[in-house]
Structure 1
């Protein structure tokens, strides 16, 4: 059997984890820059309002962001984008922890725990606050979002416990050697 050293590894330096770290970190930075640009546009009145809708030109992308010009819509978009920023930042930190040669680390466990907390508590709470209190909807439109958050959170919680066991075994093995 031929050993091909050009295969992309999942963990460690020069691995898929490293590239996913950079991709998710770039996405989180992009979300943050988008929030800042949109909110500054509103604050500095760099927005065109036609028929109760706002239009904000995004010059780098060559597109226009648009929506209903209402405070509750703007607050909901800002909170949702902020959540997206944090989501991808925490996800990038998980993959950053996987760039190490050692997979079962306290850092990986910590970031997985943050990810599970973010998805189990913050995501569903954000849905409730924005959907029912800010936007004042009475239906359950978009309920799939908190359901997906809960699935991500429970899965991450299981992975946290797997990594804790792996870390304990790895620590015992390191002490034995």
Structure 2
């Protein structure tokens, strides 16, 4: 089977990425709703939607050597809608919420752009402006994510995450730069294809 073009791996990969995007987008939207409800509960002391969004010193974490030192810390737990399946849990702090939203938002957009690229690569003529523009979006998204993540880390000074942040930043910065080389290749292919079409 071909990697690109019609009836290729790219076509079926685009279907797979579309399903993944829908799943992750649901998570991201539900996370925003969950954090909004938790903020409302925190500010008002309300007990609204307590079966799906828990906020308190005890949200059902097991008592052990890791949780005992933080037993009096405010925690949260978000369940999937109409289930008791845990979606997200953690310590209720501004830095945790912001970091979670940045990561979820970035990953949602990243998967969407990857879906658009694989969809464009499943066409007969892959050297086109649409494909080039989606590659540009992916390159800039990867590069812009780095200063956002480093700024978030710096403002929250989460020293435990310092090594991870720099590894992740290096990976996405390298990815963004590598994609610009791919863009140059696709631009050259588009120019040659256009010249060939004019000649014909």
Structures share fold, TM-score greater than 0.5: yes
Matched, 1:110 2:128: no
State the number of aligned residues: 168
Q: 1:21 aligns with which of 14, 35, 39?
A: 14
Other-structure match for 2:196: 173
Kept in 2: contact 1:31–1:82 (CA 8 A): no
Using structure 2 for the length normalisation, give the TM-score. 0.77
CA gap of 1:94–1:172, structure 2 versus 1, over 3 A, is same
Matched, 1:126 2:132: no
Other-structure match for 1:74: 97
Aligned residue for 2:163, secondary structure, equals coil
Q: 2:187 aligns with which of 135, 146, 164?
A: 164
Kept in 1: contact 2:35–2:97 (CA 8 A): no
Q: 1:36 aligns with which of 26, 29, 34?
A: 29
Give the superposed CA RMSD: 1.9
Other-structure match for 1:145: 168
Kept in 2: contact 1:15–1:99 (CA 8 A): yes
CA distance in 1, matches of 2:118, 2:92: 38
Other-structure match for 1:94: 117
Q: Deviations over 1:1-50 (max 9, x none)?
A: xxxxxxx2211222111112122222222222112112212323442132
Using structure 1 for the length normalisation, give the TM-score. 0.86
Bigger radius of gyration among the two: 2
Consecutive unaligned residues of structure 1, counting only runs of 5 or more, are 1-7
CA gap of 1:62–1:161, structure 2 versus 1, over 3 A, is farther
Q: Deviations over 1:64-88 (max 9, x none)?
A: 1211111221121011100101111
CA gap of 1:85–1:101, structure 2 versus 1, over 3 A, is same
Other-structure match for 1:3: none
